[in-house]
Amino acid sequence: MTLAELGALGEFVGAIAVVLTLGYLAIQIRQNTQAMQEGRRLALAQTYQMRADALQEMLVRAAESEHIAPIISKATDAGYPEDLRSLAALTPVERGRFRLWQIAQQTHWDNLFFQYQQGFLDEEYYRDSFRLRVRRLAPVWEALGVTGNRRSFDEEIRRLLGDAATPARPPAPDAVPTGAAAPRSG
């Protein structure tokens, strides 16, 4: 075998090695992409679970509270959250406790907006639940002087209230069972 033939053989083997390496890298990239997608799905699922846990805990604590549950009921009977005059039905002590409850509500929704900004809350939840609930609660927060959020959350609240003239999409007919009242809590 001549030196030229050995050189050609070396180039051929080198070319095969490059093709095999590229194939191996393509497989590794595909596997890495799949692992990243699975990690993102897991992170989304964990975010939803934490959101559900936090909201359930907040609502259970409120329902079990000898102080906040009657205040929420009283305000709701007076038209809360749609009618801000419902706040006038509260005594100064009740109003103070209710304000603290609203700070907790606002913190919850600010956290959800942050999760949305980070890509851990999907567009469907943002569009169908978040916007509607924040629009309902924001006037209450303002009336109670619960302000000073993260700047981006404040801007989103202002944007949502500006969009309030655009009617929100009504819930699907099967969203609330017949004869059941839609939940009124934030």
Q: How many CB atoms lie within 10 A of CB 168?
A: 14
pLDDT-based confidence at residue 164 (cuts at 50, 70, 90): low
Using the predicted structure, report yes or no on whether residue 170 has a pLDDT greater than 70: no
Q: How many CA atoms lie within 13 A of 132 on its CB side?
A: 13
In the chain, where the domains are located: 65-165
- State the DSSP code for 89: G
Instruction: Please give the share of the chain, as a percent, with pLDDT higher than 70.
Output: 88
Using the predicted structure, report yes or no on whether residue 135 has a pLDDT greater than 50: yes
Q: Can you tell me the distance from the alpha carbon of 160 to that of 173, in angstroms, rounded to the nearest whole number? A: 25
Q: For 46-87, what is each residue's pLDDT tens digit?
A: 877 887 788 788 888 888 889 999 999 999 999 999 999 999
Say if pTM beats, i.e. exceeds, 0.75.
no
